[in-house]
Amino acid sequence: MNKKSIRSVDVKGKKCLVRCDFNVPMKEGAITDDARIVAALPTVKYLAENGAKVVLCSHLGRPKGTFDMKYTLRPVAERLGELLGKTVKFATDVIGEDAHAKVKAMHDGDVILLENLRFHKEEEENDKEFCRALADFCDIYVNDAFGTAHRAHASTAGIVQYGFAPIAVAGFLIDKELQCLGGALEHPTRPLVAILGGAKVSDKIGVIDNLIEKANTILIGGGMAYTFLKAKGLQIGKSLCEEDKIQLARDLIDKAEKHGVKFFLPVDVVVAGCFPTPIDAEIPHRSVMISEIEKDDVALDIGENTVKLFAKEIRSAGTVIWNGPMGVFENPIFACGTKKVAEAIAESNCVSVIGGGDSAAAVRQMNFADKMTHISTGGGASLEYLEGKKLPGIECLNEE
């Protein structure tokens, strides 16, 4: 997908409206993780250093169309200023008097952050007049929020779709996502090994279906594995299973076989008598082969033999795409499978693309982030991209 990036346009003296993803975790008004702010720095720095008037916008949380100061972006402006080493002015509204006054007073290289876009219900409604109002701050539109690229909201797509921002380009973050995710899907170094986990088959149907046509090997773990195992006629006890997806699981297994794709399911698991409540509770557990699962067992992680099987495939891979943990990794007792898979990827020579969400959180939590080629910044967006869906926030950008 060849989309123009900010390097393709002259930004000097231009108002650049940059859609960022500053939806950072907060506690009592303080930012607890600034990773998304840090991820935006290359784009913001480039624009400012090249003489643009940089107008940043983002959402934070779900204020439901009201000016709820619990969700103000002011702390983000302060943290961004610290990281940039320069003042980031903050507009106390989005399209109101303060925003207009501060944008009008900008000099080349200045940076301003508008208040939370979702203080206006029109943002999520993709309202045409709201898009028109945003366009007052926009000679060039820059999308650098991959995490919201699957949403057809005013600031992610509408402003371009309605024709208010004829120059629309990707920031460095989206550019990297397209190169890494797109490259892994369309031009992978083979063999391409896809590792899919997480709770439900229904969350990953499209991903599995699409990857069967692209991958050489698919490894299935996490809660979704037990629907596939039951589809093969195996006893899974009280493990997570989507009864209405069993036939679909059979169809996917058959499709993989027809396409000559190696399709691996767990051969052993770690089971307990119940799901841990709270999620990090210590509960009795044991390792069993799949054939040894009893009727009251709940499988919560892949076992050692499965780890070895998966690691062997990972070691031979040219490219690995991973989306979804292998078990209930939030509990140390059931985190071993996820950790060992992450370790195998980190130790391999493959191109590794981690598809956002829980798998990205696990990789960071287990200190393997610096060993991965790319960790996607978009959970839902990366899933839809892996499904082969068109993302509104990407599709609207100008072609190279």
Catalytic residue numbers? Answer: 36, 200, 357, 380
What is the identity of the amino acid at 222? G
Q: What is the 3-state secondary structure (H, E, C) of 41-54?
A: HHHHHHHHHCCCEE
- Residue whose token pair is 């990773």: 35
Could you tell me the two tokens for 215? 């991958």
Is the Cβ–Cβ distance between 199 and 240 less than 8 Å? yes
Is the Cβ–Cβ distance between 270 and 253 less than 8 Å? no
What is the distance between the alpha carbons of residues 96 and 102, in angstroms, rounded to a whole number? Answer: 10
Count CA atoms within 13 Å of residue 398 on its CB side: 17
Collapsed DSSP state (helix, strand, coil) of residue 136: helix
**At 360, phi and psi to the nearest 5?**
-65, -40
What is the identity of the amino acid at 121? K
Residue 302 CB burial class (10 angstroms; 0-12, 13-18, ≥19): buried
Collapsed DSSP state (helix, strand, coil) of residue 33: coil
Task: Please report which residue ranges of the chain form alpha helices under DSSP H.
Answer: 35-49, 74-84, 97-104, 121-125, 128-134, 159-161, 172-186, 201-212, 225-231, 246-258, 304-315, 336-347, 357-365, 379-387, 392-395
Could you tell me the two tokens for 213? 């046509």
